[in-house]
Amino acid sequence: MKTQITELFGIEHPIIQGGMHYVGFAELAAAVSNAGGLGLITALTQPSPEALAHEIRHCRDMTDKPFGVNLTFLPARNPPDYPGYVRAIIDGGVKIVETAGNNPQKWLPLLKEAGIKVIHKCTSVRHALKAESIGCDAVSVDGFECGGHPGEDDVPNFILLPRAADELSIPFVASGGMADGRSLVAALAMGAGGINMGTRFVATHEAPVHQNVKQAIVAATELDTRLVMRPLRNTERVLNNAGVERLLQKERQLGADIAFSDIADEVGGVYPRVMKDGHLDAGAWSCGMVAGLIHDIPKVGELVKRIMHQAEEIVERRLHAMLSQA
């Protein structure tokens, strides 16, 4: 299946693994790339640029296929060593970077000079157009269904994707609610060149997270996520748990007067405790509504093969049959 995304990134299947905190390690990225998709290492999960450089080498030892690095630019008072992380990416020979968070314009000249293709995560058409205008090669359009940060506009993908197709000249992928061949065909029909899957790849054999996390996603339904940090305009979609309920109770009690410090116990340093140690109630951790479509924990290669087979069956049998009958 050839699309603008497969051609841009030199991959076999139009499936990208989203950059996820304490999930996007070399093991998962290599597995996705070996399956014909695009795997991503999450840069800020690594404690230093030197650690990221090691993770890139580790990934290269496990795959000779294209893989990328996710680099999220945070509005922090004491930001990470972004020059160091960018240098590690360039020196590591990585040719694909997924940027997220703040505007990546400052870093594009360095990345472009190194021959790196940049795809930026966007939650609205206006942000996608801005990414296009500053020179990003592609964008990931993230609908309201997505795990993590869906923005503040609350526009679902059935509206957001066609709107993006109407406005953008560069390729884009659909993120949020993507889990199977039906998702892929629907995304392509609405103008995307592929799909970005986060939560679905967490529930796979190779995802380097605690089994409790995978089982929680399988057990969840589409009704089991919550939106937190809305009063702070830093909305995050997370899987409901005891820690999330504590956080939401604080939001209800404090209302507009709430500050990040009030919920620090439920959001700060949570991911190592959840993803590594399996303490699911430690606090808020990202999960998409797509959990309602996830019922097993397959190997990555099996999952990608299943998605592509289902997508081909939908196009060749169901849709083609409908057109033939007409």
Looking at residue 196, which CATH number applies to its domain?
3.20.20.70
For CA atoms 116, 118, 35, 63, give the dihedral sign: positive
296 in a structural domain:
no
State pLDDT tens for residues 197-252: 999 999 999 999 999 999 999 999 999 999 999 999 999 999 999 999 999 999 99
Reduce the DSSP state of residue 119 to 3 states and report it.
Answer: strand
pLDDT at 75 over 70: yes
Among residues of the chain, what percentage have pLDDT more than 70?
Answer: 99
pLDDT at 14 over 70: yes
pLDDT at 324 over 80: no
Residue 326: band (very low, low, confident or very high) from pLDDT cuts 50, 70, 90: low
Please give the Cα distance from 30 to 62 (Å, whole number).
Answer: 6
**Mean of all residue pLDDT scores within the chain:** 96
213 in a structural domain:
no
Q: Which two tokens stand for residue 296?
A: 């097993």
Closest by CA position to 142, among listed 132, 104, 153, 227: 153
250 in a structural domain:
no
Among residues of the chain, what percentage have pLDDT more than 90?
Answer: 95
Mean pLDDT of 275-283: 98
Number of domains the chain is built from: 1
Inter-residue contact 220 to 288 (CB < 8 Å): no
Please give the Cα distance from 256 to 244 (Å, whole number).
Answer: 18
DSSP state, residue 277: T
285 in a structural domain:
no
52 in a structural domain:
yes
Inter-residue contact 26 to 41 (CB < 8 Å): yes
Closest by CA position to 173, among listed 5, 11, 289, 1: 5
Please give the Cα distance from 291 to 218 (Å, whole number).
Answer: 7
Closest by CA position to 69, among listed 4, 14, 25, 104: 25
pLDDT at 98 over 80: yes
Q: Which residue has the tokens 């033939």?
A: 324
Please give the Cα distance from 43 to 71 (Å, whole number).
Answer: 5
323 in a structural domain:
no
pLDDT of residue 56: 98
Please give the Cα distance from 143 to 109 (Å, whole number).
Answer: 29
pTM of the complete model: 0.96
Mean pLDDT of 25-39: 98
Distances (CA, A) of 283 to 74, 122, 212, 246, 274: 20, 25, 14, 8, 8
pLDDT at 267 over 70: yes
State pLDDT tens for residues 118-139: 999 999 999 999 999 999 999 9
Please give the Cα distance from 240 to 15 (Å, whole number).
Answer: 27
Inter-residue contact 80 to 105 (CB < 8 Å): no
Sheet holding 195-197, edge to edge: 15-17, 195-197, 172-175, 138-142, 117-122, 96-101, 67-73, 39-42
State pLDDT tens for residues 136-153: 999 999 999 999 999 999
pLDDT at 254 over 90: yes
pLDDT of residue 284: 98
Query: Checking phi first, is residue 255 left (phi over 0); if not, alpha (psi -120 to 50) or beta?
Result: left
pLDDT at 321 over 80: no
For CA atoms 236, 77, 22, 49, give the dihedral sign: positive
State pLDDT tens for residues 150-190: 999 999 999 999 999 999 999 999 999 999 999 999 999 99
19 in a structural domain:
yes
Question: What are residue 282's phi and psi, to 5 degrees?
Answer: -60, -30
pLDDT of residue 31: 98
DSSP H or E stretch at residue 303: helix 300-313
Write the DSSP string, 181-241.
HHHHHHHHHTT-S-EEESHHHHSSTT--S-HHHHHHHHH--TT-EEEE-TTTT--EEEE--
245 in a structural domain:
no
The residue range of the domain holding 59 is 4-208
